[in-house]
Amino acid sequence: MTRLFNDPSDFPEEARLGLVAAHRDKLMAVPGGVVRSTRSQSGSVAVVVGGGSGHYPTFAGLVGQGLAHGAVMGNLFCSPSAQQVYSVAKAANNGGGVLLSFGNYAGDVLHFGEARERLIADGIPCEIVLVTDDVASAPLAEIDKRRGIAGDLTVFKAAAAAAEKGLSLEEVVQVAKEANRCTRSFGVAFDGCTLPGAADSLFHVPEGRMAIGLGIHGEPGISETDIPTADGLAEILVGRLLEEVPNGIRLQGARVAPILNGLGTVKYEELFVIYRKVDELLQDAGLIIVEPDVGELVTSLDMAGVSLTLFWLDKDMEPLWTAAADAPGYRKGSVTPAQALDPAEVEVVTQDEIPAASETSRALARGVVEALEVLANTVNENCEMLGQIDAVAGDGDHGIGMQRGSRAALEAAKEALNGGAGAETVLQWAGQRWSDEAGGTSGAIWRVILTAMGESLGNEKPLSGQRLAAGVVNARQQVMAFGKAKLGDKTLVDVLVPFADALAWEAEQGQEALACWESAARIASEAAEATRQLIPRVGRARPLAEKSVGTPDAGSVSLALIIQALIPVLKKCQAN
C-alpha cells in the first residue's frame, strides 16, 4: 500500500513538485503539469502527453530531449482537465503545432478534445492521436474502443523522435498513428493498488489466482486463472500477442521491440526471469528483437502486475524507436545537451478576472456557496460508499474524485464570492476548479453542470423556479452533447435527464423553486435506484459490464444524493 504521504489530496501535486525539484535540468513546472526546461527547435512540433497521475514514469517522467515536450498531470488515475491540457500545451508550443497523445479513456478524450478546440481557436494547429494497445479491453473488430496501457511509451517515443527530426505536424501525426497501429499489449495482475489514504486496495485477487486483462487505473481484470510459473506467464503473454500480428507484417523475420512492464510491486529480478522466456519464445517464432525494455515504465501505484507490449518495427519506425532520448524516467543513447530555457519565455495561462454583478446576484451567490458547502459535505459523508459502488466494475475512485472536486469547487466559489462575484461567476469558478482538481469524466461533467447552471442564473437576476429549471435543462443538454452518453448507458445521464424533465414540467405549472426541486428530487432518487439493472455501455466499466448488474451507477447515486441534500438550501434561499 501507499504509506508515505501528507494530506492524501495533496499527494499528486506534491509528487509533481518533488519530481521537478529532482530534475530541474530537464523539467519545468507549469499550471497543470510539466514542460521541458531546455530549449526546443523553433517551429518544431510539440508532443504533449498526459493522463492521470500514479503511473510514473508515464507521463511526466517521459518529458525531455527526444521524448515529450510536455506532460499534463491529472489527479490520481483521473484525466486532467481541459484547462490543464490547454495550459501545458500553450507552454510547450514551439510554433509548429501541438500533438496531443494519451490513452483512450472517456475522460481524457473529453478533456483533451476540448483543449484542442481552444488551441485551434487561438491559432495553434493541434491534433490528437489516441493510444489503443490493450488487446484485452475490446475485440479486434472494435479496436477503436480499446484502452491505452504500456503502449503509451511506443507511441510517444516514435512521435517525439519524428518531431525532433523536424517533421511537420501532419507527418508526426501519421507516425504516431502508425506506431499505435503496430503496438499490442496484454497484462495480468496479482493484486490491486491502494490510493494514498485509502484503507484497502481498489480490488483484490484471491490467493493463488491471477487477474487477466488488467487496466492501469485499478480496474479488476476481465477474468481470473491460477498463477502459473514465470515461464508459464511468459507463454500466456507472448501467445496472446502473437494472435494479433498487425496487418502487413509477416511473422518470420519480423523486427519487434518488446517491453516487459512492471506495474509497481513486481520487482526487476522477477521481470528478468519472465523476460528470459519471453526472449526465447519470440526468437523461436522467428522474430528479430530490437532494443527491448524491461522495467517499470507505465505503473499503477503499487499494483502487483505485469504487462507485455510488442512494438512491430519497419525500416521507418525502427530509427524512431532507437533514437536517443533523455528524460527523468527513460533514457536511450546519448543526446547533445540543449540550452536551458528561460522561464520568462514560457506562456503561462492565468485566472480570468471577476466581471461586475448586481447586488441581487451577489446575494444569490452567497446561497450558491452555501449549496456547494452542503454538496461537499454530502459527498464527504458518502465517499466510501460511492467508492465501493464504483469498484464493482470500475476503478473505485468515484467517491475520492467527487470529494476532491467538490472540496476544490467550494474553495474556488468562496474566492470568487469574496472578490464580489455574482452567481454565474461563482459557479464558473467552482466548475473549473472541480475539473482541475478531480479530473476524469466526472470532473468534466460537473464542470459542465455548474457552468451551465451559472449561464442560466447569470450575474444580474434573482432566483426563480423557471430560471432554476432552465439551468438544469441547460446542464442536461450540455452534458449529453459533451459526454455523448445517452439514457440507458448507465451513467449520471440516467438521473440528470428525468430530473431535468420533471423540474421543467413543475416550473411550467408555475411552481416556486423549492416546490419544483422537491418534486423532481423524488424522481431523481428513483432513477438512480433503477440504474441497478442497466449494463454500462460507455466508460471504464464497459469491459466489465456484466459485473455491474445489480449495482447502481456511482455517478447517478452521487447526483441523486446531492439533489436531495440541496432541498434545505433552497428553502433558505426562497425564504430570503
Residues classed as catalytic: 217
Give the other-Cβ count within 10 Å of 45's Cβ. Answer: 31
Q: If we measure between CA atoms, which residue out of 536, 483, 558 comes closest to residue 219?
A: 536
What are the counts of helices (DSSP H) followed by strands (DSSP E) for the chain? 17, 15
Please give the distance of CA 178 from its chain centroid, rounded to a whole number: 23
DSSP for 359-395? HHHHHHHHHHHHHHHHHHHHHHHHHHHHHHHHHTTS-
Residues 6+ apart with CB under 8 A from 563: 495, 499, 517, 520, 521, 524, 525
Express the helix, strand and coil content of the chain in percent, nearest 5 each.
50, 15, 35
The single residue listed with the C-alpha cell 447552471 is: 453
Q: What are phi and psi of 297, to 5 degrees?
A: -120, -40
Q: What are phi and psi of 77, to 5 degrees?
A: 60, 20
Rounded (10°) CA dihedral 142, 127, 401, 554 = -30
Question: CA angle 537-540-544, nearest 5°?
Answer: 70
Alpha-carbon span 441 to 74, nearest angstrom: 12
Distances (CA, A) of 513 to 348, 448, 569: 42, 21, 11
Q: If we measure between CA atoms, which residue out of 106, 37, 49, 103 comes closest to residue 73?
A: 49
Packed helices 465-483 and 513-530: angle between N→C axes, nearest 10 degrees: 30
